[in-house]
Amino acid sequence: MRETTRRIRASGGQAQPIPVDGVELFALCDGYLNVDMSRFPDVVRGIGDALAAADGQDLDDLAISVNAFLIRTPDRLCLVDAGDGKRRGDQLGQLPLALQRAGHKPEEVTDLLLTHLHGDHAAGLAKDGAPAFPNAKLHVAAEEIAFWRAPEKLDELQSVQLPFAEAALRLYADRLVVIRPGEEVLPGVTVRALPGHTPGQVGFLLGQRDPVLLSADVLHLPALQVQHPEWGFLFDADRAGARAMRQQLLAEAAESGLRLAGAHIPFPGVIRILAGAGGLSFETAGG
Ligand SMILES: [Zn+2]
């Protein structure tokens, strides 16, 4: 097994601090998705194999990190996404362990910020049919809620994800907070629209001196998509929109130095984008 794959598979249940000013931030590893390149239908074999191998991965046996993030302020404990839950065996659903390793219980979480409502982000909101975080408010973007509340418009792939979105909105209905891009949802945490993967996907921007954008599912595998942002992910609801979003954000991050954290960036999930003569590349940046 290649090095990056081995590291990702070993990281389930881990918590890792990420330096940023203004708040305390931790990456929490829920586990990993074991997939092959069918999840990346645009990948050109050969080029993709070489890029994956250079990053310690294998296109036929990919391990994709599933991360959530914990934001701690003096009076709030906030989870950004909630992992995949215990629906696919022990390779996922390690978020409660990672939370415990960060020193906290689910009951202490005050706020849940959801980037979007796909299962690997929202299924962990439920435990045995009840809210897994009994005291937390659920913050979801208005456009994301609207997307899942019109199931007749969903295509076949998005319909697979519908039960997780519906369960989240139902279980937390009495403490659902609708958020909008540009809003400061917690002190020092600003919502940013990142449409494409889903129409209502949002990220969360933290820090002033060396900011980090929790960028949701703009990237699913940096080893492939930083150099080839045109290579989409199977579950991108709007393939063209997701591609444009990825290209735009990568260009901005290369230009400004903005760090990108992500749910599927190899744990601990933070990279910096570098521009060079050969195009874009990335390095790990924090955690
Ligand atoms: Zn995801």
DSSP per residue, 80-123: E-----SSS-TTS--HHHHHHHTT--GGG--EEE-S---HHHHG
Q: Residue 211 Cα, ligand 1 centroid: separation in angstroms?
A: 22
Ranges of the chain with pLDDT below 50: none
Q: Residue 19 Cα, ligand 1 centroid: separation in angstroms?
A: 23
Both tokens assigned to 225: 């998509």
- Residue 1: its pLDDT value, please? 75
Q: Residue 36 Cα, ligand 1 centroid: separation in angstroms?
A: 15
CATH number of 3-284: 3.60.15.10
Distance between alpha carbon 234 and the CA centroid of its chain, in Å? Answer: 15
Q: Residue 71 Cα, ligand 1 centroid: separation in angstroms?
A: 19
Q: Residue 277 Cα, ligand 1 centroid: separation in angstroms?
A: 31
- Residue 287: its pLDDT value, please? 56
Residue 159 sits at φ, ψ, to 5 deg, of -60, -30
Q: Residue 101 Cα, ligand 1 centroid: separation in angstroms?
A: 23
Query: In angstroms, how far is the first alpha carbon of the chain from the final one?
Result: 24
DSSP state at residue 206: E
